[in-house]
Amino acid sequence: MERRSLWSEVFAQRASQWKRPPSWWNLLVLLLPLVVILWSVHNSRTDFEIAKRQIATVATISSHDPSNHDRYGYTILVNQKEYTGWAYPSHKVDYSIGERVVVHYDPIDPAHNFPASFEEAGGRDLFFVPFCLMIIAGLPLFIFFRRRASNQSS
C-alpha cells in the first residue's frame, strides 16, 4: 500500500481543480470594477458640472497635518461665512501657515471647495476607468478560452 503525505494529496486535489474550466459564476467578480466605473463617471460628471460655475477665491492656510499625507488646512470666506478645506500639495510644494492660496468653490455649496480647478478634479476621477474596462473585457475572454480549450481536450 502506497502512503502519500497530506500535502501531496492537497496538491493533487488542487491540480485537478485547476484542470476544470472556470465557471461563468466567476463573472460576479466584475461587479466591483463596474461599481468603480459608475462611481468614477458620476464623480467626474459632477466635477465637470461644478467647473462650469466654479468661482476662485483666496484662502488662508490655517493648519498643517504632516501625519495625514502632509495635508494643509485652509479657510475661505464666502458671504461673511467661513468654510474650511484641505489641500494635499502636489509637486512637493510646501505651504506655510498664513500663506494665501487660490481655491475654487461651488457657489451653490461653498462647503464643496477644492484647491485646484474642478475641471482638473473631474479628469482625475477617471483614472481607474481604463483599468476596470480591461478587467471587464479580459475576464470573460479568459473564461471563454479556458472553457473552450477544456472542451476541446475532452
What does the pLDDT look like over 78-132, one tens digit per residue? 999 999 999 887 766 778 899 999 999 999 999 999 888 999 999 999 999 999 9
In a domain, 61, yes or no: yes
Torsion angle, CA of 49/54/60/66, rounded to 10 degrees? Answer: 20
Residues 31-45: tens digit of each pLDDT: 999 999 999 999 999
Q: Is 79 inside a domain boundary?
A: yes
Question: Do 49 and 59 belong to one domain?
Answer: no
Residue with cell 458620476: 42
Number of domains within the chain: 2
Alpha-carbon distance of 13 to 9, in angstroms, equals: 6
Q: Is residue 36 situated within a structural domain?
A: yes
47 with 62, same domain: the answer is: no
Both 138 and 66 in a single domain?
A: no
Which domain does 46 fall in, by range? 32-54+117-142
Amino acid at 27: L
Least confident range from 15-19, 21-25, 93-97: namely: 15-19
CB 83 within 8 A of CB 74: no
Q: State whether 130 and 92 are in the same domain.
A: no
pTM: 0.73
